[in-house]
Structure 1
Amino acid sequence: MKKYLLTSWLKISGIVAASGIGYENNEIQLVSDNGNALYHYFIANDSLAKYSLDGEPVNNHLSKSTKHDLESFIIVDNTWYAFGSGSTKNRNQGFMFNKFSKFSTPIDLTNLYDEMMSFSELSIDDFNIEAVTTYNEDWLFINRGNGPKNANYLYVVQGKNLTDDFNIYYFEFDLPKINNIPSGFSDATVINNTLYFIATAEDETSTYNDGAIKGSLFGAIDLKKMKLLFTEKISDNQKFEGITVLEQSKKSAVFALCEDADNAKNNEAVIYKLQIDLKGKIK
């Protein structure tokens, strides 16, 4: 794949470290790995609403040791979901947010995350869920391989719920290095039978500490065969942490990406458009 176009699209003030993104009805939803809020941006009138997910006052600057580390966002029917990374024990919480009532319900993911680590023989040093999406009736939880084992794992979760009635299996993927640094999944979204993902590289072997940003790539996985289809580097100096679909056809797709610049003083989220020519790549 050689044809892609990455352009700056929107700048949204009032958001620090955007890490997950959704899109519907000309509106954007965002979560931040530094905060406890769900951000709802209305493109037409350039306005932003903030909703607390945990019942506490909205806080854009939670401390590293106490934050939920919300890394994933997904829309399922009338519910918006945000998920903590599980990279420390206090980051094992998710939230279900009803987009009509604006009511948030916490989800304790401790059992699920513990089973994922046990089943795949990962320690807490290698566990870091950066993406959650759905495929048919299954949940897909995707681990970023930025720990010692570079464990880029895709967990398939089946069952009635995510707390105490589920089955798990997983697949491991080898992703290319970016500027000689191993890359790890940072978010993903599904179109038909294909998982489109972004991955990033940081010069730090840790799921907890940030390192120097070495770039990002875009790629795709065939979910029927669980086969990596392609990857393409899209930046040498940006860390893209969220992806969602804006437009799609048989030959091309347009995605929205959000960036985390690892700068706590930055109070503005920049949203990008990534246009990809898929002709000949996806069947």
Structure 2
Amino acid sequence: MTATIISENQLPGLPSASGVEIIGSVAYVIGDDSPYLYQLDAATLAPTGRIVLFDAADDFASGRIAKPIKPDLECMVALAWPDGRAGLLMLGSGSRPNRARGWFVPAEGPQLPETVDLTALYAALVAHLPAGVLLNLEAAATTATELLLFQRTVGRADAALLFVLPLAETLAFLTNPTGASPPAVHQLIFELPQIEGCPAGFSGATFVDGLLFVSASVENTADAVLDGAVLGSFLGVVDVSAHTATFVRLAWADGRPYFGKVEGLAVRQQLADRQFELLLVTDDDAGGSTAATAHLRLS
């Protein structure tokens, strides 16, 4: 497997990119300290608009919401809401109480955000965490029947978790937590690669044509809230049924390691058999963001 960065461009005015999804010709991007859902042309990456998720005029005056109060939107996934509307579900990381909320935005018609309370769902997930591990969701994906939530546990090699939940039941619970039963939670633990002795943590995911693509980045930190020095990123493929994961470190075409922190990925197109062009978004932990094109060869 090889993962090669083909190009990388700054995303001015889009702070701390943390997730990306492509629907038709639009690439949607979220930032973990921003109140907006950004819209880009999926081919050119030119900005085409943004959707206000919540009112943060004063908190966002500096161009970033402060770490203690930001909702920390880290997960975004395209799906169909229980009423049949296609759209995007964005989820906070859950690493603090104020980060247990999310939003659903329809993909068509009036794109009016709907707030989603994640408190009860996250309480169910916390019960499955290893001792001493703080909930810190960083990526989401869906299959036809499952919602996949990826836990990023920094500083530990034994707690890279994937929560597998029944999709329909989980969405029903999110829309009516008092009238629906909590969904069953199945937990898988993966061993992720390391750089300089620091284990990678899940950072992005997308499920396309039967393949679960993931990204994992490496920071020199053991704190789920505080940032550390970024050492690099990996792309990989996870087989949930077989409980296996295969990773390769991202590099430039000339072989130099890529040192960006990949926070999300989407499949742009399939280039050939087992070869894909991916759109990646990165966060430099200082408010800057990039979009990178990468080619992933699976064999």
- Output the aligned Cα RMSD: 2.0
Query: Quick check: 1:109 aligned with 2:118?
Result: yes
- Aligned match of 2:294: 274
Residues in 2 aligned to 1:236 and 1:56: alpha-carbon distance in whole angstroms: 34
- Aligned match of 2:129: 120
Residues in 1 aligned to 2:155 and 2:221: alpha-carbon distance in whole angstroms: 8
Structure 2 counterpart SS, 1:90: helix
Residues in 2 aligned to 1:172 and 1:214: alpha-carbon distance in whole angstroms: 23
In structure 2, give the amino acid aligned to 1:239. Answer: K
Residues in 2 aligned to 1:202 and 1:134: alpha-carbon distance in whole angstroms: 26
TM superposition shift of 1:222: 1.1
What TM-score comes out, normalization by structure 1 length?
0.89
Structure 1 counterpart SS, 2:11: strand
Please give the residue correspondences for 1:192-207 in structure 2 after superposition, counting only pairs within 5 Å.
Answer: 192-207=209-224
CA gap of 1:243–1:23, structure 2 versus 1, over 3 A, is same
Q: Which of 248, 253, 261 in structure 2 is aligned with 1:232? A: 248
Contact 2:138 2:151 (8 Å CA) reproduced: yes
TM superposition shift of 1:207: 0.6
TM superposition shift of 1:270: 1.7
Contact 1:126 1:146 (8 Å CA) reproduced: no
TM superposition shift of 1:9: 4.5
In structure 2, give the amino acid aligned to 1:30. Answer: V
What TM-score comes out, normalization by structure 2 length?
0.85
Query: Quick check: 1:89 aligned with 2:86?
Result: no
Structure 2: 5+ residue stretches without partners: 81-85, 251-256
CA gap of 1:45–1:88, structure 2 versus 1, over 3 A, is closer
Q: % of aligned pairs identical?
A: 24
Structure 1: 5+ residue stretches without partners: none
Please give the residue correspondences for 1:56-205 in structure 2 after superposition, counting only pairs within 5 Å.
Answer: 56-57=56-57, 59=60, 60-77=63-80, 78-99=86-107, 100-123=109-132, 125-146=133-154, 150-158=158-166, 159-161=169-171, 162-163=173-174, 164=177, 165=181, 166-205=183-222
| Number of residue equivalences | 273
Structure 1 counterpart SS, 2:193: coil
CA gap of 1:224–1:61, structure 2 versus 1, over 3 A, is same
CA gap of 1:70–1:122, structure 2 versus 1, over 3 A, is farther
Query: Quick check: 1:53 aligned with 2:53?
Result: yes
In structure 2, give the amino acid aligned to 1:144. Answer: R
Contact 1:193 1:223 (8 Å CA) reproduced: no
CA gap of 1:138–1:47, structure 2 versus 1, over 3 A, is same
